[in-house]
Amino acid sequence: GQNIDQPTEMTATEGAIVQINCTYQTSGFNGLFWYQQHAGEAPTFLSYNVLDGLEEKGRFSSFLSRSKGYSYLLLKELQMKDSASYLCAVKDTNAGKSTFGDGTTLTVKP
Amino acid sequence: EPEVTQTPSHQVTQMGQEVILRCVPISNHLYFYWYRQILGQKVEFLVSFYNNEISEKSEIFDDQFSVERPDGSNFTLKIRSTKLEDSAMYFCASRAQGLNNNEQFFGPGTRLTVL
């Protein structure tokens, strides 16, 4: 079966750094996505990791350890607009099927 | 900036009716997807489509569902006989060809309400 775990909610302060963890147990693995989803809107792509290690893109970084079934999304210099749900999704197959976690709702406070 | 568009933004239908949800992917993209998200729940993969055929589908995508690319621009999802539990937000997504092109661009979604 497919199982993706991430914390339900997190709170952080504007300007701070926050790390959102994701662990997965899936029958197949062809990469891991992080998406941002504001309430009532569509997901937007943040990152894709298929190899172990850290990928940095501006204020956002994503890390993957395939042996541990673990990823994290790191958000630096938090802004109020970063308040959103962050979705971890595993690409199960090469043909495109992805399994999503329930999402982590991040609240950034002043 | 090119974007994925979806119509209608909101569709209300009676149980048992057929609905067609429409999507216009980004013009040079070749991979297309449909997802759904029931209110308050996780995003769920429905189907992927490439080269005019289904690449993969989930357990949700049963015989009541079908997809079509009727022309060079539209990508549609049809639900033949809607059920109450089909009420959800339906997102279309597309991505460009290429091994390193994994970014999927999502449309704004169609909210389907089945009464």
Digit-coded pLDDT (tens) for B31-41: 999 999 999 99
Mutation target for A interface from B4, B29, B32, B43: give the one with most A CBs within 10 A: B43
Amino acid at residue number A3: N
Residues 6 or more apart whose CB falls under 8 angstroms from that of B30 comprise: B50, B51, B96, B97
Q: What is the mean pLDDT of chain B?
A: 94
Q: What is the pLDDT of residues A15-45, one digit of tens each?
A: 999 999 999 998 889 999 999 999 999 999 9
Q: Confidence class of residue B16 from pLDDT cuts 50, 70 and 90?
A: very high
Question: Rounded mean pLDDT of chain A?
Answer: 95
- Give the number of beta-carbon pairs within 8 Å between A and B: 52
- Quick check: B6 and B110 in contact, CB under 8 A? yes
Query: What pLDDT was estimated at residue B1?
Result: 81
Mean pLDDT of B69-95: 95
| Cα A46 to Cα B57: distance, rounded to the nearest angstrom | 24
Select the residue from B99, B100, B102 to test the A interface by mutation, using most A Cβ atoms within 10 A: B102
A1: confidence class by pLDDT, cuts 50, 70, 90: low
Measured over the CA atoms of residue A15, residue A17, residue A18 and residue A24, the dihedral's sign is positive
